[in-house]
Amino acid sequence: MKKRIETERFILREILPSDADGMYSLDSDPEVHTYLGNEPIASKIQAEETIRFVRQQYVDHGIGRWAIINKKTDEFVGWTGLKFVTVETNQHINYYDLGYRLIKKYWGQGIASETALVSLEFAFNELNLNEVFASAHVENSASNKILKKVGFKFIEIYDYDGLSCNWYRISKTEWEKFNLNS
């Protein structure tokens, strides 16, 4: 997957083995994992394993999360984008999921919203998908706010490995209407 997308502030590109330090910084932070089951990684080796997993998704499904790179500093900010989910989640299987995760120092700067919007544009305009799903822990007010802000519609609360999560969906038609009204 050799896709590269630019926003005003960021470059979105495939996650590379050289992103291991940034991925470790992201996923070793307990605060980042507050709503993800409280299981931060403990080693750079685990960060490298995560990167290999994402890179295999590029091979297997032609899509996977993208690294967010700050244009001015060339720093790894986190990841964003689509993932093709092949395991059952909330009675869904083989669907596209939008997600994002940022290093804590980048929270509250509109980065997740900016990159989620570009990811949805890619989903509907380039991949020609009919729908995209997303989820967020019910208590993660920031993430729930972002999903609604970019046009997702709340569907229901579901249990994900003992965590109460909100399930969201946006269709291509809803996306097109959202863009007209934005």
Please give the chain's pLDDT, 182 residues, in tens: 577 999 999 999 999 999 999 999 999 999 999 988 878 999 999 999 999 999 999 999 999 999 999 999 999 999 999 999 999 999 999 999 999 999 999 999 999 999 999 999 999 999 999 999 999 999 999 999 999 999 999 999 999 988 899 999 999 999 999 887 76
Does an H or E element contain 119, and which? helix 111-121
pTM across the whole model: 0.94
CA distance 103 to 25: 7
Which two three-digit tokens encode residue 2? 């050799």
SS3 state of residue 71:
coil
Owner of token pair 């590269």? 4
CA distance 168 to 154: 5
Q: What is the pLDDT of residue 162?
A: 86
Q: What is the pLDDT of residue 57?
A: 96
Whether 26 and 78 have beta carbons less than 8 Å apart is answered as: yes
Whether 123 and 63 have beta carbons less than 8 Å apart is answered as: no
Does an H or E element contain 50, and which? helix 44-61
Angle of CA points 172, 178, 182, to nearest 5°: 145
Q: What is the pLDDT of residue 37?
A: 80
Domains of the chain in start order, with CATH, are: 4-181 (3.40.630.30)
23 exposed, middle or buried (CB, 10 Å; 0-12, 13-18, 19+)?
Answer: buried
Q: What share of the chain is helix, strand, coil (3-state, %, to 5)?
A: 35, 30, 30
Please name the residues in contact with 182: beta carbons below 8 A apart, sequence gap of 6 or more. Answer: none
